[in-house]
Chain A
Amino acid sequence: MSSQDKQTYDDRLLTRYLLGALPVEDAERLDELCIADEEVATRLHALEDDLVDAYVRGEVSGEDLGHFESFYLLSPKRRQKVEFAAALLELEKRPAAVAAPAPAPATQESAVPTPKPREEAEEELVQPPRSSVRRPMFRWGFAFAAAVMLFAAGYLLLENLRLRKQMSETQAQQATLEQRDQELQKQLHDQRSANEESLKEIERLRQSQPNLGQLKTVSILLPPPTRGAARPPTIMLQPGTDLALLILVLESDDFPQYRAALRDSAANQVLWTSQNVQSAALGEKKAISISIPAGVLKQQNYVVELTGLPAHGIPEIIGSYPFHTVLK
């Protein structure tokens, strides 16, 4: 799919898709993209959350409200999302809600429950139990029954402890075996990955070696992202430049590998993505260096989005490095 096609899927269109208000052909195209296209799936996910929030706040109106209530609220899963959004809104309003109960935000009663004020619920819980009238003739009977129950409870407690101990020993043995199995699997996997990586690296070096000397490059140092509005550094590209070498200085080196994505600031589109790279020392700091083909760059603002890749777990976006390009 071209980037131009993607732009046509604006927020309004995606919202109508969520509301079941699109013609079948358009909806089918989006059915495909909501699974197969990273950007559309992410955008749609965020828009759905915002749409549901807007509904519980009473911000959805007109034709959209009609579609929301006749289509969106049909599914139990989607109704759960609405209930969640209502709870989140209630939480936001909670300090005010103590003084005055919040009005119901939506028109369909089953979709957005109005939680009972907490104080009211707590009052019900702290009501004292009704005292029972005890007759003296039953006192000794109760005392005997209590003693028997106490003895039985003690026996059961001891038995329970013994069984728990046995069970935890068995579990510990099983966990040790499973851990050993996982370690062996991991070693095997790491070894295979290392072999594959080495082969790829050799091949890459073999292919890139003869051309390195002929490349014309320009480089720029991009400091760690600052928390205020600062003027972005500028990179000058002379005619005939092959590569722009960007050195991204890290605030802290927390990941074994990183990946960078070049984003067009105005269109908010990813234009280029690096391979997985490792940090290297730059004085007392650590930095990532990436080489972007100069042909990708025009005279405008860009942002390099740096993602940290943990050995296991979710990649995390750790910073954005803005810069400006000037073509000479």
Chain B
Amino acid sequence: MSRDWVPTQDAFRQFLEWLDEGVDSDGQRYLELRRRLVFYFDRKNCLAPDELADETLSRVAQKLEEKGSITGLSPAHYCYVIAKFVFLEHLRQAKRGQAGLDELKQAHVDSRSTATSPGEEITQSGERLHDCLDSCLAQLPAADRELILEYYQGEQRAKIERRSRLAVRLGLSMNALTIRACRIRNKLEACMKACCAEK
């Protein structure tokens, strides 16, 4: 399988349709699956989880184009199988087992030792986050902004009770409310990441 394979527009469209399993999600299924793959590689403590997730999706899309169809496994399950191979290859390439925990520990130590001074770094980073959060919250629709602030507010028991009341008020099940809150938080985190990178 070629590593330099770049999907054509048709191949990519076919891939998105296959992921959608009959319900047009406008690319949302692709994004959700990519999020899960990034989570998978990040939990395995790989240094570049985004790249490994993209490599996985690229291989699946290539396979789909070559075979015309993939049957027997759901799209998500098939992606997991390929992700496992990508992870094992990553481990082999990274000098037989020195990848993962060791490289992350080293990276963590390096990043801390190169900071100007802990106090300065924290203050600058805090201000930036503060400003970015304000700006990103302002970009959300008002209903989403109110929902996320209310959903994640409070401590333990108070938080649970607040969420129950919120679900009743919005006419949603707890499950539906959780999914909606997670989606909004994802959006907000992505916006914060982009904003902090700019500043």
Binding site for B on A (CB under 8 A): 18, 20, 31-32, 34-38, 41-42, 44-46, 49, 53-54, 57, 59, 73-78, 80-81, 83-84, 86-88, 90-92, 109-110, 113-116, 118, 121, 225-229, 259, 263, 268, 276, 303, 305, 309, 311-315, 317, 319-320
Contacts and interface: CB of A to CB of B under 8 A. Distances in A.
A81 B189 contact: yes
Nearest to B133: A87
28 contacts: A20-B43, A31-B40, A31-B80, A35-B37, A35-B77, A46-B179, A46-B182, A49-B185, A54-B156, A73-B108, A81-B189, A90-B126, A90-B133, A91-B149, A92-B153, A113-B126, A114-B122, A115-B123, A115-B130, A116-B127, A225-B171, A227-B168, A263-B175, A268-B174, A305-B176, A314-B28, A315-B23, A319-B171
B111 interface: yes
Given A74-B105, A74-B108, A320-B173, A87 B182 contact: no
Contacts of A314: 25-26, 28, 183
What 5 A-B pairs have minimum CB-CB distances, sorted nearest first? A115-B126, A317-B176, A113-B126, A36-B77, A35-B80
Given A45-B182, A86-B129, A312-B26, A77 B80 contact: no
A118 B24 CA distance: 45
A34 B118 contact: no
Interface of B: 23-26, 28, 33, 36-40, 42-45, 49, 74, 76-77, 79-80, 83-84, 101, 104-105, 107-108, 111-112, 118, 121-123, 125-127, 129-130, 132-133, 137, 149, 152-153, 155-156, 168-169, 171-176, 178-183, 185, 188-189, 192-193
A78 B108 CA distance: 12
Given A74-B45, A76-B111, A309 B23 contact: yes
B128 to A, nearest CB: 9
A223 B181 CA distance: 26
A268 B127 CA distance: 42
Binding site of B, secondary structure by majority: helix, strand, loop or mixed? helix
B193 A227 contact: no
B39 A34 contact: yes
Given A35-B40, A77-B38, A115-B126, 19 more contacts: A31-B80, A34-B43, A45-B39, A86-B129, A91-B149, A109-B118, A110-B118, A110-B122, A116-B130, A268-B174, A305-B173, A309-B23, A313-B25, A314-B25, A314-B183, A315-B25, A320-B171, A320-B172, A320-B173
A59 B24 contact: no
A91 B26 contact: no
A83 B185 contact: no
Nearest to A77: B42
A116 B26 contact: no
Q: Kindly name the residue among B26, B39, B153, B174 whose own CB sees the greatest number of chain A CB atoms within 10 A.
A: B39
A312 B24 contact: yes
Contacts of B188: 84
Nearest to A42: B179
A79 to B, nearest CB: 8
B152 A49 contact: yes
A120 to B, nearest CB: 9
A35 to B, nearest CB: 4
Given A74-B104, A75-B42, A303-B173, A32 B130 contact: no
A57 B155 contact: yes
